[in-house]
Amino acid sequence: MDAILNRQLVGASVLSLERGSLDGVVQILPLANINLVLVKLNKKVAFRGDRKPGKYHFLFNLSCNLTLDNVLAQGVSIAKPAIFGFNQNLKDLDLSFSSGCRFCSIVVPELFLNKKLIELGCFDMQDVLDNFNILSNRLVSSRLILYFQKLWQDVHSLALSPKLIEEEILSILFECFMSRDDRKVGIAIPRRECHEAALQVLALTNSSPTKPFEIQDLCSVLHQSRTSLFNGCKEKFQMSPLQVVRSVRLHQVRHALLDTEFCIENRLSGVSDIAAYFGFVGRSHFARYYKNEFLEMPRQTLSVRRDSQQSF
């Protein structure tokens, strides 16, 4: 999933906040100038990724029950139909999703968006893009959400050309931003330093999969105190810093156990090799951590891959 999300972001990291295997669906619909991405996951997750320059991200929750499947965007709870994540003054996307949440992202190049704003005379939209990060009004729920629910439902049988789909999407999006009917906007709350430290722990762990980290290593590399790291991770993820590291590593191990190509490329032949590759030294401790995270032993996961190979 990190690799898929990194097509539009940099250093995307996903942290599962619930026990069990993290599974889901990522659908991508590339159009002439914009990209659509739909993500649905079976667990509550935290997600962060650095924005690539020159791109706007318009995100929204397509779940039927927004009260249960709410989203945290840059620390702000969103429990109503809304577009969020579009403020380019933010250096990253910092999101949290409930299990079962379906979120959609429209990624639009800045130059293309600006050209369309000029063509259509939507000059007021730029003020919202520059000063806010959340937009909610009646058109978001009555037009945009319903349109995309139907679009993804019928995506495999679409008869319209990609160009016509793109024009309709942009038209609806611009209407939402220009309408003042019951409009509410929200700013991005400045991030607390300890929460920034927690996100740095996640990003560092994800970007250095084979490097073992103890708490003193994290403090040294990130130039943070133990207190800041501990408080930030507890408040942001309900985990200690080392639990964040361990959870990311365990999910990387599980991905490797199920990925034949990864094992061949890195000359890994079994559970012990894969666990050691990701920094787990004690086999008994690793097996206990793995079972606690995924409710099965690592050899059971490996057997799933081997059984699938026999029925290719």
Q: How confident is the model at residue 257 (pLDDT cuts 50, 70, 90)?
A: very high
- Determine the topology of domain 193-310 in CATH: Arc Repressor Mutant, subunit A (1.10.10)
User: What are the DSSP E strand ranges found in the chain?
Assistant: 9-16, 24-30, 35-41, 45-51, 55-61, 71-73, 76-78, 83-84, 92-97, 102-109, 134-136, 184-186
pLDDT tens, residue by residue, 93-106: 999 998 888 889 99
User: Domain limits of the chain?
Assistant: 2-186, 193-310
pLDDT tens, residue by residue, 92-150: 999 999 888 888 999 999 999 999 999 988 888 999 999 999 999 999 999 999 999 99
Residue with tokens 């659509």: 36
305 pLDDT above the threshold of 80: no
Q: How far apart are CA 150 and CA 110, in angstroms?
A: 27
pLDDT tens, residue by residue, 49-64: 999 999 999 999 998 7
Angle at 105 between CA 53 and CA 239, to 5 degrees: 85
Q: What are phi and psi of 23, to 5 degrees?
A: -125, 160
**C-beta separation of 69 from 98 below 8 A:** yes
Query: Residue 30 has what pLDDT?
Result: 84
Average pLDDT of the chain, as a whole number: 90
Query: Residue 158 has what pLDDT?
Result: 66
CATH for 2-186 is: 2.60.120.10
Longest dimension (CA), the chain: 65
